[in-house]
Amino acid sequence: MLDTKLKNNDKKLIATLGILIISLLFSIVMIKSYPIIYEKSKEYDYNPFESRELIDDINSTNYVLYQRLIEKKTNTVKNASDIFINNESIKSVTEDIKLEGNYSSYKEEDIKLDLKRNFEDRFNGWERTLNYDLDNLEYYALDKDSKKAVYSKSNEIDVLENSDGKSKERIDTLKEKYQFYTIIDFDEDGSISVRESYGANSKSIERTLRDINRTNVDYKIEPIKNATFIYAVPHKLYYYDNISRYISIEERAGDFVASSFVVNLSMMVAIISLLIPYRLSSQVLGFNKLCKIPLEFVIGLILFIIIFFNIYPAGIVQTSVNSDTLNYLISVNINKNMAHVLINLMNLIIWSIHFTIVFLMTTLVKYIFKIGFSNYIKNHTYTGRLVNKLVNRLRSIKNRVSAIDLKKKPNKFIFTALSINLIILVIMCIVWIFGIVLAIIYTLVMFIILKKYSKDVIKKYDKLLEATHEISHGNLDIEIDENLGVFEPIKNELQSIQKGFKMAVEKEVVSQKMKTELISNVSHDLKTPLTSIITYIDLLKNKNISEENRQSYIDTIDKKSQRLENLIEDLFEMSKVNSGNIHLNKMDVDIVSLMKQTLLEVSDQIEESGLIFKNNFPNEKVILNLDSQRTFRVFENLVLNITKYSMKNSRVYIDILEHEDKVDIILKNMSAVEIDFDVNNIVERFVRGDKSRNTEGSGLGLAIAKSFVELQDGSLEISVDGDLFKAKISFKKKK
């Protein structure tokens, strides 16, 4: 046992080392690929400051700042529509309406009002963009005629406006602070030009601005004139706005390259895991515990891996390649060589964990296919367990419905079912129009459930009907093993009827057999003494017989007549017992004295048998309310039975035992022959222990004794132990 355990531990250790080696090798490959990833990410040529989205935001900002310049210049509040909507705009819209054929329904004043309202809505959107979506943008706007200016955050970039006064030092300072700036000019005719740009191509910005101005609105507006706009974006962004979002798109190019490398290497690890036999890969330490983790947690872990290694690979690569992490470690007084070691070790650990998890997840997929997807869902997920509980609960409800006792009032069940139905209907009413869809679904579900239930009920009903049909045709051995649900009480009653019929049939068979034996035995027992009587009477008719023979014949006739008389009396007694036409004359009787009297009456038979009677009687009287004559007959029959069938010269034990609530009379004797009869039948009519019928007797002695005892609310039990025959009479005491 210990050797087997050690071998299993060795297998687990080898498997674990194997997966760690595979993960380390792929981690090294990933780290060695950092320079390739870094260079390939540069191939994605995307400049956020040349993007159409950012230039569109700058273009709309031009109009907002121009409106502010006009207000500052005129020192009055002006609506944007008053500045930018002119007669040309109205004329352009009017022409469009004429082309549509709806001009007659519009007035010129209405057209002008609608046009201004439309432009104000659009202009408000531009203002919201500037105020809320361009927090990282710094701007400087100048009206060339009045030299009035507006600016945001700082006025450092105004130095860019006057090219003659620019100094190299101040420009270099600006480039250290800003990653992008541009100067946009509008002349007196409204023509646009980009004078200078840093961080983006001037021509590209100018081209995009002109294209946007042509397509920005669907009608002509007053152009911006004699104004200069300077925009700048600092290196350090303090807000999450459109600008930071445009810049992050560029960084995602590097993420894509790094993620592609991670995905390709992960797929290779997964393929290796699939190629390794399950019996080997499942030996990895901790895999048995991983199998028991609910699927929801496993899915969460997989999603975390997907999200983490979809977002951060480029960051890991960049910080490892561009010396940011190295410089930080050196800044906290870590040796440069040690810093390189720490960076490589950190990367090795990160990627080893990743590839190990990929290997284990692939092995887990193999495990799921091995045990079966449905089995895994049922036993290894919270959802499966919940569904399983719900199914069991519904099955329990179905069984309860199927097991309704039709003998009881089903009010409680009906009330419960209607209450549940009411709750469902209320929910459907609450969800308004969707309630119709729910009602249709609910109706379909109820139809399926009721259809299945009705089929089940019909099937069980047919099963019950088939069983009753078989029983009606005399097949009392048919069995109904399955649960019949709502018909279960009827099945139980039917089985009781079946059992009763079977017992009645068996009893009737026994009764018919006993009747046949009764006729045979009575015929034999009546015929034997009668034949002897007739024979000896014929002999007495002979006048030549001697006196001695005559007397012998008369004695024989007398004995046979007595036997015939006793047999007829026994038959008469049994007839009265069976018909119930018997009267008991009960009185207080000393059962001890009655037993002694019985033994005295049959003392001759006892003496002839040579039996030794051992009596154990109480010294005091034992008074019971009995019919003394019939109780005497019971004792006489039992004692005479003992004298006939006991082993010669053996001992017979008679005990009278008084208890608190009853009195037991027990007679025990050893049988002369082997007891090979059924003790349950020995007390029936004409049943004798002597099957050869060599001894005299009617075969009614024990039957009469049992009947007389039971008529007096007592009991007679016969039992045997080997050749020991035991009769036990029990009478209840008077209360």
Q: What is the pLDDT of residues 462-506, one digit of tens each?
A: 877 877 777 777 776 777 777 766 677 777 777 777 777 777 777
**Residue 655 phi, psi (nearest 5):** -120, 135
- Per DSSP, the three-state class of 256 is helix
How are beta strands 149-151 and 715-721 bridged, if at all? unpaired
Whole-angstrom CA distances from 268 to 316, 349, 359 are 21, 19, 10
Nearest to 205 by CA among 225, 226, 180: 180
Residue 573: what pLDDT? 63
Q: Cα(693)–Cα(480) distance, rounded to whole angstroms?
A: 47
Q: Cα(594)–Cα(544) distance, rounded to whole angstroms?
A: 50
Q: 657 — alpha (psi -120 to 50), left (phi > 0) or beta?
A: beta
Q: Cα(56)–Cα(75) distance, rounded to whole angstroms?
A: 29
The terminus-to-terminus CA distance of the chain in angstroms comes to: 72
Residue 99: what pLDDT? 57
| Tally of CB atoms within 10 A around 140 | 25
Q: Are 491 and 460 contacting, i.e. CB atoms less than 8 angstroms apart?
A: no
Residue 66 predicted with pLDDT over 90 = yes
Q: Cα(337)–Cα(686) distance, rounded to whole angstroms?
A: 118
66: amino acid identity, one letter: Y
In this predicted model, what pLDDT tens digit does every residue of 355-412 receive, in sequence order? 888 888 888 888 888 887 777 777 777 777 777 776 777 666 666 655 555 556 666 6
Q: Are 167 and 151 contacting, i.e. CB atoms less than 8 angstroms apart?
A: no
Nearest to 715 by CA among 702, 699, 728: 728
Between 313-321 and 34-41, two packed helices, what is the crossing angle to 10 degrees?
Answer: 100
The gap from C-alpha 637 to its chain's centroid, in whole angstroms, comes to 71
| Segment holding 133, helix H or strand E | none
Predicted confidence band of residue 514 (pLDDT cuts 50, 70, 90): low
User: What secondary structure letter does DSSP report for 647?
Assistant: P
Residue 426, token pair as written in the block:
């209320």
Q: Are 355 and 20 contacting, i.e. CB atoms less than 8 angstroms apart?
A: no
Question: Which of the residue ranges 94-103, 320-329, 538-547 would you say has the lowest mean pLDDT?
Answer: 94-103
The larger pLDDT score, comparing residue 84 to residue 220, is at 84
Residue 571, token pair as written in the block:
């038959």
Nearest to 314 by CA among 45, 46, 44, 41: 41
Nearest to 487 by CA among 523, 514, 459: 459
- Per DSSP, the three-state class of 734 is coil
Residue 180, token pair as written in the block:
């992008």
Residue 671, token pair as written in the block:
């049988």
Mean pLDDT across 270-274: 84
How do the residues of the chain divide into helix, strand and coil, expressed in percent and rounded to 5? 65, 10, 25
How are beta strands 612-616 and 651-658 bridged, if at all? parallel
- Per DSSP, the three-state class of 167 is coil
Nearest to 163 by CA among 124, 120, 196: 196
Whole-angstrom CA distances from 713 to 177, 304, 718 are 121, 86, 17
Predicted confidence band of residue 456 (pLDDT cuts 50, 70, 90): confident
Predicted confidence band of residue 182 (pLDDT cuts 50, 70, 90): very high
Nearest to 62 by CA among 198, 226, 201, 220: 226
294: amino acid identity, one letter: P
CATH superfamily of 583-732: Histidine kinase-like ATPase, C-terminal domain (3.30.565.10)
Q: Cα(79)–Cα(410) distance, rounded to whole angstroms?
A: 79
| Tally of CB atoms within 10 A around 338 | 11
Residue 180 burial class via C-beta count within 10 angstroms: exposed 0-12, middle 13-18, buried 19 and up:
buried
Residue 665 burial class via C-beta count within 10 angstroms: exposed 0-12, middle 13-18, buried 19 and up:
buried
Q: Cα(236)–Cα(238) distance, rounded to whole angstroms?
A: 6
Residue 253 predicted with pLDDT over 60 = no
Residues with Cβ within 8 Å of residue 47, at least 6 apart in sequence: 199, 200, 201, 250
Q: Cα(31)–Cα(14) distance, rounded to whole angstroms?
A: 26
Task: Report the residue count for the chain.
Answer: 735
Cα torsion through 455, 459, 464, 466, rounded to 10: 140
Residue 102 predicted with pLDDT over 70 = no
Mean pLDDT across 107-135: 85
Q: Are 347 and 355 contacting, i.e. CB atoms less than 8 angstroms apart?
A: no
Residue 6: what pLDDT? 45
The larger pLDDT score, comparing residue 249 to residue 678, is at 249
Q: Are 202 and 182 contacting, i.e. CB atoms less than 8 angstroms apart?
A: yes
Residue 616 burial class via C-beta count within 10 angstroms: exposed 0-12, middle 13-18, buried 19 and up:
exposed
DSSP assignment of 533-587 equals HHHHHHHHT-TTS-HHHHHHHHHHHHHHHHHHHHHHHHHHHHHHHHHT-----EE
Q: Cα(463)–Cα(157) distance, rounded to whole angstroms?
A: 97
Q: Using only C-alpha atoms, what is the Rg of the chain?
A: 59
Residue 321 predicted with pLDDT over 70 = no
Q: What residues does each domain of the chain span?
A: 2-32+263-380, 48-239, 583-732
Mean pLDDT across 693-718: 72
Q: Cα(172)–Cα(198) distance, rounded to whole angstroms?
A: 11
In this predicted model, what pLDDT tens digit does every residue of 192-216 receive, in sequence order? 999 889 989 999 999 999 888 765 5
The larger pLDDT score, comparing residue 250 to residue 562, is at 562
Q: Cα(193)–Cα(184) distance, rounded to whole angstroms?
A: 6
Paired residues of 588 in beta bridges: 625
Nearest to 246 by CA among 376, 57, 378: 57
| Tally of CB atoms within 10 A around 451 | 10
Average pLDDT of the residues of the chain: 78
Residues with Cβ within 8 Å of residue 211, at least 6 apart in sequence: none
Mean pLDDT across 577-602: 81
Residues with Cβ within 8 Å of residue 4, at least 6 apart in sequence: none
| Tally of CB atoms within 10 A around 60 | 20
